Chains A and B, each alone.
Chain A
């Protein structure tokens, strides 16, 4: 079984300040972890992924995330927020040990608001 908890439903930061979106996961096996972004009325775009290689993962648009097994966390960060970062962010876990395609389990999302 796998699950994802995004600790904040809304995060508001000022433009130019750091962004932190928190995510904790639960998985019976070695998980793959992803962050997806959804801009208003748009589809889902992959930001970055962790698949048991380097624990610090760099993604698109200056985002990065660190896999911490001891804390079962995969928090998303960005040093300096931009207005275009305003969107919904989803932390996602996939259990790779399943024999078949088991799908992705999504967190409930964090709405990122950027203040000018």
Chain B
């Protein structure tokens, strides 16, 4: 069973479109994240949700909006896509305890904006 699953794996779309990427985890974790990996492989956190509450919101454009219908899902919605949004987006989840915050990652969604 896949612990953290993202769909779609690949997404090609035109500038100006609105798209969503879905993420689900079956680990019972209480915190989920979205990371963006740019063309230089650098990973940067975009959002995290803990118990359906947004607790990190990095300086990303407001065209990006995370939506969490329940603890097991954190979807990423992007409005008015731009060329610079092309990247690989990773979803992750963690169990938050005082010992460690090991994260489990999805396989990534490669978004290409043309």
Asked whether A94 lies within 8 Å of B42 as measured between CB atoms, the reply is no
| B55 adjacent to chain A (CB < 8 Å) | yes
Binds B, one of A15-23, A42-50, A72-80: A42-50
Asked whether B90 lies within 8 Å of A108 as measured between CB atoms, the reply is no
Q: A100-B50, A101-B55 known; A46 and B42 CB under 8 Å?
A: no
| B94 adjacent to chain A (CB < 8 Å) | yes
| A25 adjacent to chain B (CB < 8 Å) | no
Size band of the interface chain A makes with B:
20 to 34
**A103 CA / B42 CA spacing, docked (Å):** 15
**A101 CA / B29 CA spacing, docked (Å):** 12
Asked whether B43 lies within 8 Å of A103 as measured between CB atoms, the reply is no
Binds A, one of B15-23, B59-67, B76-84, B104-112: B104-112
Known: A32-B101, A49-B102. 17 other contacts (CB 8 A): A38-B41, A43-B108, A45-B105, A51-B100, A96-B98, A96-B99, A96-B101, A100-B50, A100-B55, A101-B30, A101-B31, A101-B50, A101-B56, A102-B56, A102-B101, A109-B43, A111-B41
Max chain B Cβ within 10 angstroms of own Cβ: one of A34, A38, A44, A101 = A101
Of all chain B residues, which has the CB nearest A44?
Answer: B105
Contact of B106 among A36, A38, A43, A96 (CB under 8 A): A43
Chain A interface residues toward B at CB < 8 A: 32, 34, 36, 38, 42-46, 49, 51-52, 88, 90, 94, 96, 100-106, 108-109, 111
Of all chain A residues, which has the CB nearest B100?
Answer: A51
